[in-house]
Structure formats: structure tokens, C-alpha cells
Amino acid sequence: MNAPSRLQPFIAPGLFIAPAAIALILTTAVPMVDAVLLSLQRWNAMTPAVWTGFDNYVRLAQDETFFRALWHTFYFTVCTVILQTILPLLIASLLNSGIRGSTVFRTLYFMPVIISLAISGLLWAMLFEPNFGAINSLLRAMGLGAYTPLWLAGTNSVMPSVIIVSVWQSLGFYLVIFFAALQGVPKDLYEAATLDGAGAWSRFMNVTVPTIRPVILIVVVLNTINGIKVFDQIWVMTAGGPNYASATLGTYLYSIAFGAMGASNSRLGYAAAIAIVILVLSIVVSLIQIRIGRRRDLDAQIEV
Amino acid sequence: MKRLKAIAASAVLTAAAFPALADTTLHVMSWQPAYVAGTDYWDKTVAGFEAENPGVKVESNFVAFGQYLPTLTAMIAAGSLPDVFNGGTKTGELGRSGHLVNFKDVYDAAFFDQFYAGPLRQYTFDDKPYGLPDMAQIFGVFANDRIMKEVGVEVPNTWDELIADVPKFKAAGYIPLSWGNLTRNTCPDFFLPLIAQYGGDVYALDDHTAPGLSWDSKPVVDALDLLQRLSKAGVFPEGINGIDDPQSRQLAYQGRAAMYFGGSWTPGIFAQDGTKDWLDNYSVHKVPALTPDGIHFTGDGAGEAWSVNADGPNKDLALKFIAYLYRPDVYNWRAKGLQSFPSMKSAVDQIDNPKVRTMISWIATDSANHILFGPGSWDAVSNVCQSALDGSISPADGAKKIEADVMAARSN
């Protein structure tokens, strides 16, 4: 077979793929390469960029605030992956068990999903306001005035506060995913387990979880990626404050690149270096999760 | 043949050039929400310029303050700055890097004499005015006289008096002085003039080129110490770092706070959304001083200043527009419409609100810088400000951190 005829089978698929591939290259690959190059330069957008090699990465390695932001990102990601996977799964299982009003509950849980992150951030900032916000007012009315947290204003309470908002906002989305997956679990598996004497918890752990494991993996990966790149809600509620107590890699990158309420200098090369770190982290963590998921699937197949 | 070719070429060139001359769009961008089509005095301003310059169209673009600097940064990076715009805190860096017109090259001394000194000084870098203040501002304390009378205290003249009065306010269930720092830009407004009260020079600190001058100098440490003492004494609302400006105003409106710290533009906001109790009872006072006979240094300047893109295709037209905007008759329309502190002395008569006029009278004696333009200064100060307020950093360490953060930002 000569070369042109060897290529023959790829021509038609190639032509079909080409438009999307070109669009992807122009809108994703080129900016990504540009960002990598920018991360190797010093540039404030006003004066010509200066090539600095790996200087931005060396500075990142010495930047205390960057590591605080990295820790907050890790903290946020771990908490949201756990809460935004387990809670929706449990609630979806409950709703799938045939309880009355399941549709109403699903709708109620899903409603926060359709609110924009910025709007929900503003609403929660009002609810969390320490002096007259609804939550502290309620606590005071219940005689718990001594236990009113500062919420977004406290350096210790700000991260749990933004995690609460994230869980509130995302729960419905993952719940719907899990609910759809649970609908596909064959009923006879539950019946067989019940005949074998399995209780509700045992059925959940030994039938439900293994059957929908691929969906759980997708939810975990989605939560992880969303956690690593979290930005909008936190920016709207705290702008990463007080004093970087809720800064994540996303908010730190934004404040370095663009400033906000008054910052005068843009450090676009440094910001690009942070962006590359976020990209690498997302890829590495996702690959690990997918690999673990595949290995478990393989183990499960071997067991079968 | 040669002649024919020349005629044909000039005809083509004229045809190509004529539409551009006859249909020029001047791009104007600001974060002032009133400077858009539909506001009568802005419409009148734009229509007047367009009438004086046939074929010119002024396109007014509003970008909300929260998104303004990021938008501007993106425009700078893309090399697509508008013709006339508010440079905000980027004015100094933009001017120094050659992107803005130095107005001293264009206008004479008499033109600059029309402005109040402080607001103009704020946008002058290396003796080059790269921005011309639109509306000016000055800060003060707005007190609810009904609450002050109920508590039995006078509006404090010194910070020590304010601290001493806190137990009386608290016993009566009031927050002494309300303001919010969620967006981090109010604390520098409050804190930077304190440095002036302690004898520091915020312009010089921001510039950071004078030998031996640094942010960890004594006036800065003393100012941070005072800020922290006020916070620890309970002068400010609980969780001030989690409260934004509108929420802090609500504390005043709803009678939860006895006083409110704000700028000369806030009486205009009060008129729009203040409660009757607040509107009937509020009065305005200078911020306290260090000593009974001390100067009540408070933030002055201008949030918005017009700059002209030096690289833009419509530079000359933009400069013509600026000259027009600051013609006293045209400026009066804006001053009258906004009812805010005018940056031009001649427009004071346009201000009806007696409280704003009272505040204007302070600019000659009590003004101090409260906006930072130097690379890294604003972030460094606003972050340490938050820490000083919540007590997580000592004044000396805070001052050292400002200095370290400014130096780090300027080396990168």
C-alpha cells in the first residue's frame, strides 16, 4: 500500500474534524501557548514585556500569599468534593427511594442552580452581614447572640462561609446527576440484596455505590476542577479578603492581573504563571482521579 | 498622463479621507453612571460639542466601578484605549509610560488655576498633569443629631474623645461610627489621612523615591496604631471587613449607628435612599483630629479624572473635547446635575446642598491624600488595613508588611 492510499481512510474524518479542530486551536491552544510564554516574561501591559525566564515561577515559590491561596484552594476543593458528592448522593438516594413529594424536593434543591453565582454571592453577603444580616439576627432571636460568627468578616469563618454557599448552590445540580444515575440501577439488584438480608445502608454501599461509580467519579472530577478554579462567588462575596483569608488561586490570579477596587499595577506575567500552575494542578489531579476510578472499575470487573 | 494619474490618486485619497473627517467617533469611557445617554446634562454636554464640531459623534461608555480597572487593563494590554477616559489609579503609570497626554504641554497655567489644588495634585506625576479632576471629594463624619442628643454626647473633636465616648454609645445600643470595608477601598480612605495627621506625607510615601522614606516609618506605624485602637475600642461596626458601603449606610439609616464616615458625594446618595429619620437629623462634621487644636486632615482629591490617549487617532479632537468639558459654562451643567463637590472653583455656586458646601470649605485647610497610584501601594495598604482592623497584625509589623509588599510589587 503506497502512502496516499494509506492516508485515504483519514481524509474524510479529517475534513469533518478540521473545522472544530481549527476553532479549538485558535481559541484554546494558541492562548494557552501564549499564556505559557507570558508566564516567562515581566509585563504590566503599559511598557514592553521583558523576558525573565523562570523568574515568575521562582518568585511564586517564595510568595507567601500564593501558598495561602494554594492552601485555601486545596481546603475549598477537599471540602466541596466531599460535601458536594456525599450530600447530593444521599439526598438523591432518599428521593429515589420513593418518598412522597420527590419531584417537589428535586425542584426546590435545583432552584439555587439557576441563580447566577454573582447574584447568589451578593445575596449571601447580605445574609451573612454580622450586624443586621438575617442569619445573625435569627441567632440573636433564638438567644444565641453570644454565638454569632463574623462570617465573611472573620479570618477563621470566611472559608467555611463560602463553602456553605458553594454547597447550597451546587447541591441541586449534582443531585439531579445522581438521581438520573440511580434511576438506571436495576431494581432486581436491590431485591436480590434484600433477599440476602442486606439492610438499607448495606444496599447503598454494596449495590448503589458500585453501580453508579462512573457517575460518582464524574461528579468528583467536576467538583475538583470547579474547586481548583473557584473564583466568582468568592470574588463577589469577599474579593479574597479579609487580608487574603479567602484568597484562592483564582482570586489571587485576578487581583494580580487586573487589580480591582483600586490596585494600580498589573503583573500579567506573574498572573500567567499562576494560571499555568492552576492548569497543571487541574490536569494532574483529574488524571489521578480518573486513573484511580479506572483501576477500581478494573478491580470490580476482575471480581465479577 | 502623469497629471491624470495624480488627479485620480488625489481623488481616491480625498474620497478615502473625507468620510473619516466627516464621521469621526470620539470614544469616551468612565465609571460615572450619570455620564450616559439619557442624563439631561450629559446629553446637553454631548449635543453641545457635536453641534460645535459637525461630523463628530461622542460615544459615551459606562463601565461599573467594580469592573472598570480590569476592563481598562484589558484595553491597555490590547492597545485599544478610548480617546478620553478615567485613568483611575492607573493614571500615573499610564502617563509615565507615555500613553497619556501631559496636559501641561497643551493648556496654560490659567487653565490649571481653575481647579482646586488637591484634586489636581493627585493626578500630577513628576510635575506632569496626566489627568484632570472631574468631581472632587472630601471626607467627613455624618452624625445623627437625634441619636447624639439621646446618648448625650457631642460629635467628637479628637480621636481620644471618640474612644472615650464608646461606652456611652454602646450602653445606648448604638454603633459609634459606621463604615464598611468589604471591598477594601474604604479603609485607605480612612487610614491614609491619619498618616498626615501624624506628620507623614502620603504623596511621598506613594512615590517611594525619596531617600530614607519608607512605609514602615513612624507616622505610618502611629496611624496603624490609632486605627487599631479605634477598632479595638469598638468605634466601628462588628465585622467591618465583611460589611460593604451600602450596608454600612443602612446601619446609619436604620438608626443602628450614631455616625457614618463618608465622602462628599454621599449626601447625594442619602437624598436618594436615606430614611426620613436620617435625612431629618443628619449633620456633617470634620473627622476628629489628634489634639483639640490639631488639623483635621481628611481625604481629599478626585476619584475620577479625565485623561487623553496620547496614542489615539483622535488625540487633537479629544483635547478639544477636554477643553470644552472644562469650559465653566459646560462644567456647571455637570456640577449642577451631580450636586457633588466640583473640582473647578467657579462651580461652587452650582451646589445647592449646604452640607456639601460645608465640606467644600474644608479643602483649603484639612485636605490630605487618600488615593494611591504607585505600583503595589494600594494592595499593600488595603490588605494591612484589614489586618489592623481585625487585630491580626501589630502596627509595627503591619507597616513593615506594607513596605515589603510595595517593594515586592515594584521589583516584579
C-alpha A179/C-alpha A169 separation (Å) is 17
Residue A297: pLDDT band (50, 70, 90) is: low
* Contact flag A155-B77 (C-beta cutoff 8 Å): no
- What's the pLDDT score for residue A260? 58
Q: Among B176, B238, B380, which Cα is nearest to A157's?
A: B238
CB-nearest to A150 from B93, B239, B387 is: B239
> Please, where are the H alpha helices in B101-244?
109-112, 117-122, 145-151, 159-171, 186-197, 202-207, 218-233
pLDDT in tens, B83-116: 999 999 999 999 999 999 999 999 999 999 999 9
pLDDT in tens, A23-67: 999 999 999 999 999 999 999 888 899 999 999 999 999 999 999
Q: For residue B95, give the chain A residue with the closest CA.
A: A46
Q: What is the mean pLDDT of residues A184-209?
A: 91
CA-based nearest distance B316→chain A, Å: 22
Fill in the DSSP letter of residue B345.
G
Residues of chain B found within 8 Å of residue A259, distances taken between Cβ atoms:
69-70, 73, 89, 378-379
Residues of chain B found within 8 Å of residue A254, distances taken between Cβ atoms:
70
- What length does chain A have? 304
* Contact flag A264-B66 (C-beta cutoff 8 Å): no
* Domain locations along chain B: 2-133+303-342, 137-301+368-410
* Contact flag B97-A260 (C-beta cutoff 8 Å): no
Q: Among B235, B224, B234, B290, which Cα is nearest to B259's?
A: B235
Residue A301: pLDDT band (50, 70, 90) is: low
Q: Set out the domains of chain A in order of their start, with CATH numbers.
A: 64-303 (1.10.3720.10)
C-alpha B57/C-alpha A29 separation (Å) is 39
Residue B257: pLDDT band (50, 70, 90) is: very high
Residue A266's Cβ-count burial label (10 Å; 0-12, 13-18, 19+) is: buried
- What's the pLDDT score for residue A261? 58
- What's the pLDDT score for residue B63? 94
Residue A286: pLDDT band (50, 70, 90) is: confident
- What's the pLDDT score for residue A303? 53
Residues of chain A found within 8 Å of residue B94, distances taken between Cβ atoms:
46
Percent of chain B surpassing pLDDT 90: 81
- What's the pLDDT score for residue B19? 45
**Is the fold of B2-133+303-342 the same as that of B137-301+368-410?**
yes
Element (H, E) at B300: strand B298-301
Give the lowest-confidence range in A253-267, B14-28, B342-356.
B14-28
Q: Give the three-state DSSP class for B260.
A: strand
Q: What is the mean pLDDT of residues A153-169?
A: 94
- What's the pLDDT score for residue A266? 84
pLDDT in tens, A130-152: 888 899 999 999 998 888 899 99
Residues of chain B found within 8 Å of residue A243, distances taken between Cβ atoms:
241, 383-384, 386-387, 390, 392-393
Cell 488524571, residue?
Answer: A287
- What's the pLDDT score for residue B296? 95
Residue A140's Cβ-count burial label (10 Å; 0-12, 13-18, 19+) is: middle
CA-based nearest distance B190→chain A, Å: 15
Buried b / exposed e along A70-87 (16+ C-beta atoms within 10 A): bebbbbbbebbbebbbeb
Taking 90 as the threshold, does the pLDDT of residue B242 lie above it?
no
Q: For residue B255, give the chain A residue with the closest CA.
A: A132
CATH 1.10.3470.10 fits B2-133+303-342, yes or no: no
Residue A285: pLDDT band (50, 70, 90) is: confident
Taking 90 as the threshold, does the pLDDT of residue B299 lie above it?
no
Whether this model's pTM surpasses 0.95: no
Q: Which CATH architecture has domain B137-301+368-410?
A: 3-Layer(aba) Sandwich (3.40)
